[in-house]
Chain A
Amino acid sequence: MADAHLRVFRGSPGETGRYDEFDVPVEEGMVVLDAVHWIQGHAAPDLAVRWNCKAAKCGSCSAEVDGRPSLMCKTRLSDYDLEEPITVEPMRSFPLIRDLVTDVSWNYEVNRTIEPFSPPDTPVEEWRWKQQDIERVQEYRKCIECFLCQDVCHVLRNHETGRPFLGPRYMVRVAGLELHPADRADRREYLKEDAGIGYCNITKCCTEVCPEHIKITDNAIIPLKERVADAYYDPLQWAWRKLTGRRRGSAAGVELPVLPTEGPSSADPPAGAGA
């Protein structure tokens, strides 16, 4: 079988990035991550890449393949025209560490601002849920935290607002808590005041790249927006909020940070990655 030609972004912060080209022998069924591993094992032992399971279960090997945010472990070479080079670049929305690896720690900081699961006092042995009532929550909990939705989200990617915005992944997480049959917390105020849910204008780019096929926009973001709208624009709930008073800051006690702007584009801007 013919070789594949890979153009791989190489570089570190503060230096001009470059594209190294490699010819990789192709085996049947090969994915982009296999090709990257071949390069590591035979041509560039120091090529930095993040990966773990190689089975689309851990969400580590996120990158942009010919400009499309993808898991390298499930991106088949056979889906590409092997006569043309395949360009592999790091996620553009996060600060570069090296080569294909970016600093995604901001996501973990956002996660800490979300009020944790808050169960009732009833003993867990007595909890009874119907399967059909938990299927939506199970959909949210399929998220493997690949952060591709965060990468593609234009609010985060273009730093349009300069304001804190939690991004699609964490709207999915909040939805998983808010719609959890045993959760007792109310995160609507957090969503509106701290997490910037209003900045999402439902372009559905996140849904398109989700490798777990979570209907992020339709099943997580829109229901949350409706809940927030109910709380803020329903006169009865508005009056209730006025009576009970707003607490400041997230209930988790941690303020949501703004995504740093030092993306890989601070090196040579990757070509072909249409924003």
Chain B
Amino acid sequence: MVSGAEELEQADYDVLVIGAGGAGLRAVVAAQEAGARVGLVCKSLLGKAHTVMAEGGIAAALAHVVPSDSWQIHFRDTMVGGKLLNNPRMAQLHAQEAPARVRELEQWGAVFDRTDDGRILQRAFGGHSNPRLAHVGDRTGLEMIRTLQDRVVAGGVDVHMECCVTHLVTGSAGVTGAVGYRRQTGRPIAFGAKAIVLATGGVGKAYEITSNSWEYSGDGQALAYEAGADLIDMEFVQFHPTGMVWPPGVRGLLVTEAVRGEGGILRNAAGERFMWKYLPEDRRNEYAATDEEAARWVTALSASRETDARRPPELSTRDNVSRAIYTEVREGRGSPHGGVFLDISYLPPDHVRRKLPSMYEQFKELADVDITKGPMEVGPTTHYVMGGIRVDADSGATTVPGLFAAGEVAGGMHGANRLGGNSLSDLLVFGARTGAGAAAHAASLAGQPYMNPVQVQAAVRDLDGPLERTSGEDPYALQRDLQATMQSLVGIFRVEADLDEAIRRLAELRTRWSTVRVDGGRVYNPGWNLVFELRNLLVVSEAIARSARQREESRGAHSRIDFPATDDATWGGRNSVIARRTDGTMGVSTTALPAMDDELRGLVGVAH
């Protein structure tokens, strides 16, 4: 068995980026441009990160389709969609810088779909006032990750593929390195770094039904929490309204919002277009009033024309559409396999295949459904976490010196609910800022920071634990119990008794985790890999449950059956905070949201 510091592989960098999705890759480019020696670590092969699955597009106020679009309107949409719980500085930087970041991708070789006059085409999406998403059919994430990957490869960065980071090493001055192992050999590796960028994505694997891959195990959130960083807004987990519900093997698989963006209509088993019933009263005037007006909007969009028709009710925000679908199903108006119907088949088949090629394939190949001929069956699926590591908006710095975070793993940008399309732009804007921030921090340090060998050796020994035990539980059984707990007790609708029960069960699961055992050695052993991911999932699951228990109101993606109203007086402008107490237990509290200046307040129409 490989163990002990004398055999330990070590690599030293100015900036170590953990995670090779959009945020990580963009951070690498920025850090390298700033002159840093950069290392990139990712759990999978390069180009396979979760970004590759993003379908709909990148939100940016390029104003190619609607010339009056602007960063100010994008900012307002983002804040309104986030129920004013977004870090306003992040939402501002995001709206202002997204257009330049998108054009930069084109400068690096991306090929977006075009308008009639040859510019980047933009599509409509839920919660966006104007068609705003730069896209390539419904495979935008692939285009983005491949473009960034090519840029990183051309830059000659060290890429450690199929390498899992399990521990951060800290010293008196903050973070100094990381320890993990190479999946292909099972051998441990230590990274010395002046700055570390966490870009590890989300937490979806805490739930049974999710659009997320095995990689989404809350690694960055848990590593940062253990290192002493704050997590904020962890109660806000986005349940995407449209996942596949049938066949069982693909349950939860994402059905892009672009289906609704291109005109898809939601109906219940009785054929009723139910979204009319669920539009929030204060936003109703932003949506079409009749089927006829919605149809006019779709016709204009298909012809890339401007129109005075307002958008269809299906383009309400994701939190709202998810609750609507859940309610329809619960009240007995669902489809045969427990979802609702999403229909785009009333548009010409060629148009549907051109605009939604991968959806066409996905349903044809996996569900025997031709979406140009009939409706899809869809239902909510765990998709994204709005909460995450608390960061400085401008630099991506966490509350731990030397530790930075960008993308889904960071909190604040999306508030209580993320708008579709704002994730890919988030990755670009804050990936770039965080890479630069980390490089600047690294440049301010004289030499390579001291890596405490006691911590390194303890981390390496931790890796051996589950392989050395001669008895204990199978990690897959533990994972199933964790997912069942979160799915049934911390889902779309929450209530105090359930959340208390979830916290109790999570404590039991933590105890069971400490005796988990695996066979089969260290080489590419998925069971062994799962052990450390479960440790991280248990941290983020507890953070989600405790934050949800604390917030006694409903806002955005957080819906409390026992507190159905939004309580601005108590909870408006307050973020939940999760931090590790000195005794090792998880502390939960709140802090005030950073203040908006007068210009931003004016944009969102807030008086105070």
Contact = CB atoms under 8 A, between A and B. Distances in A.
Interface of A: 12, 27-31, 34, 40-42, 45-60, 74, 76, 97-99, 101, 103-105, 108, 111-112, 116-117, 119, 124-125, 127-131, 134, 137-138, 141-142, 144-145, 177, 180, 183, 252
B526 A47 contact: yes
Contacts of A177: 109
12 contacts: A27-B249, A41-B476, A42-B476, A46-B520, A46-B526, A50-B44, A51-B213, A52-B49, A52-B213, A54-B253, A98-B523, A124-B107
A45 B249 contact: no
Contacts of B527: 40, 45-46
Interface in B163-208: 184
Nearest to A29: B247
Given A30-B247, A47-B526, A128-B117, A56 B361 contact: yes
Nearest to A42: B476
B462 interface: no
A229 B378 CA distance: 51
Contacts of A108: 45-46, 153, 159, 161
B361 A45 contact: no
Q: How large is the interface on B (under 10, 10 to 19, 20 to 34, 35 or more residues)?
A: 35 or more
A142 B139 contact: yes
B366 A180 contact: no
- Closest 7 interchain pairs by CB? A29-B247, A46-B520, A128-B118, A45-B527, A117-B109, A116-B154, A48-B524
Given A46-B521, A48-B525, A137 B111 contact: yes
Contacts of B118: 127-130
Interface string B26-57: 00000000000000000011111110110000
A45 B521 CA distance: 11
Interface of B: 44-50, 52-53, 103-104, 106-109, 111, 113-114, 117-119, 121, 136-137, 139, 141-143, 146, 150-151, 153-154, 159, 161, 184, 213-215, 246-250, 253-254, 358, 361-362, 365-367, 474-476, 480, 518-521, 523-528, 530
Nearest to A34: B249
Contacts of B104: 124
Given A46-B528, A48-B525, A56-B362, A142 B142 contact: yes
Given A29-B366, A52-B213, A45 B526 contact: yes
B365 A51 contact: no
Nearest to A40: B526
A57 B52 contact: yes
Contacts of B520: 45-46
Nearest to A59: B48
B109 A58 contact: no
A123 to B, nearest CB: 9
A130 B247 CA distance: 39
B467 to A, nearest CB: 10
Contact of A111 (B141, B153, B248, B474): B153
A27 B250 CA distance: 11
A142 B146 CA distance: 10
Contact of B114 (A98, A117, A130): A130
Contacts of B248: 27-30
Contacts of B526: 40, 45-49
Contact of B111 (A99, A103, A180): A180
A105 B46 CA distance: 10
B215 to A, nearest CB: 7
Nearest to B108: A117
Contacts of A124: 103-104, 106-107
Nearest to A145: B47
A108 B157 CA distance: 13
B114 A46 contact: no
A101 B365 CA distance: 24
Contacts of A131: 113-114, 121
A151 to B, nearest CB: 15
Contacts of A145: 47
A57 B136 CA distance: 14
Contacts of B52: 52-53, 57-58, 144
Question: Which of B48, B367, B527 neighbours the largest number of chain A CB atoms within 10 Å of its CB?
Answer: B48
A50 B45 contact: yes
A98 B182 CA distance: 14
A52 B162 CA distance: 12
Contacts of A144: 52, 142
A55 B254 CA distance: 9
A180 B139 CA distance: 18
A28 to B, nearest CB: 5
Contacts of A28: 246-248
A117 B150 contact: yes
A54 B362 contact: no
B67 to A, nearest CB: 14
B44 A52 contact: yes
A28 B251 CA distance: 12
B474 A27 contact: no
A104 B118 CA distance: 38
A42 B480 CA distance: 11
Given A50-B44, A108-B159, A111-B153, 14 more contacts: A30-B247, A40-B476, A45-B526, A46-B528, A57-B358, A76-B366, A98-B523, A108-B45, A108-B46, A117-B108, A117-B109, A129-B118, A138-B136, A252-B154
Contact of A53 (B53, B159, B161, B361): B53
Contacts of B47: 58, 145
A101 B109 contact: no
Contact of B480 (A41, A48, A98): A41
A46 B476 contact: no
Nearest to B110: A141
Nearest to B117: A128
Contact of B523 (A12, A53, A112, A129): A12
A70 to B, nearest CB: 12
Given A41-B480, A52-B48, A74-B365, A46 B250 contact: no
A46 B518 contact: yes
